[in-house]
Structure 1
């Protein structure tokens, strides 16, 4: 389990920014949060990460968000979650 990343940054971006990467993606984010591994697995079967009001099951290999709660609610329509390396 130590090979799994212990933290990620999740960017919540409007769906129309598909294809953007790097600094352009970060600038398009309407919210971001660094999430830390809890050591538990979510209902999706992937590791659970929490922080900054976000709770996510993330596939650490593909960096795909498999499940996400934002302040305890599902992600609003028109938004998508992107996973990037946590800074610092």
Structure 2
């Protein structure tokens, strides 16, 4: 039961186009909030809120470098999850 609830939370997080764009950008390279904002044309407050949720769900991690936090995908499983979803999308009519 707990696994089903946790998985549902993750799937809900993936239902946001902004969060999917964040994950896709981090798939290419680790980035700060400022760098993500420039790449995705999304405000810093919005990005920070989304990143907080993605960190809570262990989809991204952050490493501090002075005043900046460099965000990256949590592990290879997140990359595989994105690849599988994109692969599925390519097979839809």
Please indicate, yes or no, whether the TM-score normalized by the shorter chain is above 0.5.
no
Structure with greater Cα Rg: 2
Higher relative contact order (Cα pairs below 8 Å, separated by 6+ residues): 1
TM-score normalised per structure 1:
0.29
Select the structure that is richer in helix: 2
Select the structure that is richer in strand: 1
TM-score normalised per structure 2:
0.28
